[in-house]
Amino acid sequence: MKIYLNGKLVSKEDAKISVFDHGVLYGDGVFEGIRAYNGRIFRFKEHLDRLWYSAKAINLSIPISKKDMEKATIKTLLANNLKDAYIRMIVTRGVGDLGLDPRKCTEPPSIIIIADNISLYPSELYEKGMEVVTASTRRVRHDCLSPNVKSLNYLNNIMAKMEAIRAGVMETIMLNSEGYVAECTGDNIFLVKNGALYTPPASSGALEGITRNAVIELAKNRAKIAVYERLLTIYDVYTADELFLTGTAAEVIPVVKVDMREIADGVPGKITLKLIKEFKSLTRLTGVPIK
């Protein structure tokens, strides 16, 4: 496996960074998780834009251009002979000293690109639907740290993930400090009620997911259903007609049980299945070619 590290392709064993990198010391950095399908990188521009916005928001200047990042990504995919891949792009504050002060990071930000095979949820979950629970860990308030900054500090999400593991399920629904539904640990959440689609707004503490945005477009243009960004309560979730999650890793996955309550009659809904189908064809037909 070849990994891109600060302008060079190196072996996995040699892909190492300093213990003084502020990405390690403070989680001071940003990342993206991107997928390639059948030789095309899905929504690549959107992911690059979001990485640059995340960096901008933490006042981190990425030392290469978006075009060069694109070239580096394609080079990494080709070096690993990957057509279907999970791409992890990381930019850290760089090597500094043992203090928070980012001005002490005198070396340029570290840039890392890892391209690996994708690990999916078991395929039967996409047909039968998955079970989730509500986490007691609340989402970090959006006015403390915007959920749109994909930072290297994912402790909030990891604490919630541990609750999923404890409950023997694969995901948890996270509420914000006001008790409204925000998102899951690495996925956005949607529900269907009376033929319309609902998802929490970013101000509820949700990341504006790229899969989320793609699904909103598909719902409006292909499924011809109305989409609303609304404050949602856990009651709305329990009483939904259909429920599903979206994310780069998970794609679109039905949820059929929440906190022991079946969603409607406990099987994936029609609109969910239609959107899964539409999303699949979108990922296969669009994207930046790896060449």
**Could you list the residues that contact ligand PXG (CB under 6 A)?**
33, 157, 183, 186-188, 207, 209-212, 246-249
Closest approach, Cβ 248 to ligand PXG, in A, equals 3
Of the candidates 120, 121, 34, 119, the one whose C-alpha atom is nearest the C-alpha of residue 76 is 34
Residue 86: name the closest of 248, 288, 208, 246 by CA.
Answer: 248
Q: How far is the CB of 47 from ligand PXG (least distance, A)?
A: 7
As given in the structure block, the two tokens for residue 41 are 């990188």
Of 15, 21, 88, 24, residue with least CA distance to 51: 88
At closest approach, how far in Å is the CB of 46 from ligand PXG?
A: 8
Strand partners, 193: 196
- Comparing CB distances to ligand PXG, the nearer of 94 and 247 is 247
- Residue 248 in contact with residue 210, Cβ under 8 Å? yes
| Cα of 133 vs its chain's centroid, Å | 19
Q: Is the Cβ–Cβ distance between 151 and 90 less than 8 Å?
A: no
Distances (CA, A) of 70 to 88, 188, 207, 220: 13, 26, 23, 30
Give the residue nearest to ligand PXG (CB): 209
**Of 2, 150, 193, 257, catalytic:** 150
- Whether 291 is catalytic is no
Tell me whether residue 105 or residue 245 sits nearer to ligand PXG (CB atom): 245
Q: Shortest gap between Cβ of 88 and ligand PXG (angstroms)? A: 8
Nearer to ligand PXG, 33 or 108 (CB): 33
Q: What backbone torsions phi and psi does residue 290 show, to the nearest 5 degrees? A: -85, 85
28 or 187: whose CB is closer to ligand PXG?
Answer: 187
Q: Which positions are catalytic?
A: 150
